[in-house]
Structure 1
Amino acid sequence: MAHEFPVRVYYEDTDMAGIVYHANYLKYIERARSDWVRARGIDQNALREGEGLVFVVRRLEADYLAPARFDEELVVHTEVKSVSGVRLGLTQEVQRAGKPLFRAEVTLVAITADGHPARLPAAIRQQMH
């Protein structure tokens, strides 16, 4: 099931030409992922405090397809691509009026407080589908 997260482009998001600066797409998809996790009933603070686990980006491959501009309304679509014991694969796409502007394949993993890889808890793996 896809998750949608609305984003408006603010002046601070753009470069001198009024086009969204490339790194800001990463901020947009990060916000959308946080909202997506929350919508699945996962409390990331409780996960960190209770089990000592946090999600981190292991890999990200991005394609910039078309520019977004100041004051446009965008939507970030997030879909699960794959779930395993240690990895979560997502496809995220930033769209304007249904037209893709940016697409990323993101691999998330869980790590412990000391930075070591950890298995995703079974309950969380189930909530990701």
Structure 2
Amino acid sequence: MTSFTESMDIRVYYEDTDHGGVVYYANYLKFMERARSEFLRSAGLELDTIEADFGVMFAVTEAHLLYHAPALFNDMLTVESSLTLIRGARIAFNQKIYRKSDRTLLTSGDISLACISREGKAARIPAPVVYPLRNHLTPKEIS
């Protein structure tokens, strides 16, 4: 297995900021959500296809964020996502958001998700979903 980090660039729009032009704290979670979707896409997985084929979805169960510096209106950001855990019904990511121009770390976070059925009950992550993620896991934690 190799270490893998998926990067995605996002521009800060006016709608992402407060009155002072600083990104509103909850919007970092939106940026991370988009980047996790792109991470899965880079592994050949689409969330809508996973639901259609296996009847499961992913729901955030924990989000631990640290805010290091503010992002500002019109900044170009880079969101880096690393998969850190696949186990049973759990999947977890470490994500970092940088200002692209100077690589200043703005926000870092550990996000845990549960695989759930359409009825909202925990469900084991289907093997055809786990398999393509094996080469994207950092560190080596699969069970």
Task: Calculate the TM-score normalised by the size of structure 2.
Answer: 0.86
Contact 1:55 1:111 in 2 (8 A): yes
Contact 1:93 1:103 in 2 (8 A): yes
Contact 1:85 1:125 in 2 (8 A): no
Counterpart code for 1:48 = E
For 1:122 and 1:49, the matched residues in 2 are separated by: 15
Contact 2:54 2:126 in 1 (8 A): no
Q: Which segments of 5 or more consecutive residues in structure 1 lack a partner in the other structure?
A: none
Contact 2:47 2:57 in 1 (8 A): yes
Counterpart code for 1:34 = S
Aligned to 2:77: 74
Give the drift of 1:46: 1.8
Task: Write the deviation string for residues 96-122 of structure 1: whole angstroms up to 9, x where unpaired.
Answer: 132210011001111000000000112
Q: Which segments of 5 or more consecutive residues in structure 2 lack a partner in the other structure?
A: 137-143
Aligned to 1:86: 89
For 1:112 and 1:89, the matched residues in 2 are separated by: 18
Larger proportion of strand: 1
Say what the alpha-carbon RMSD is for the aligned residues.
1.0
Instruction: Select which of 51, 54, 66 maps to 2:54.
Output: 51
Give the drift of 1:15: 0.5
For 1:66 and 1:43, the matched residues in 2 are separated by: 32
Give the match's secondary structure for 1:120: coil
Q: Give percent identity, aligned residues only.
A: 36
For 2:124 and 2:34, the matched residues in 1 are separated by: 23
Aligned to 2:34: 31
Q: Pairwise mapping of residues 1-129 of structure 1 onto structure 2 (< 5 A)?
A: 1-96=4-99, 97-128=102-133, 129=136
Task: Calculate the TM-score normalised by the size of structure 1.
Answer: 0.95
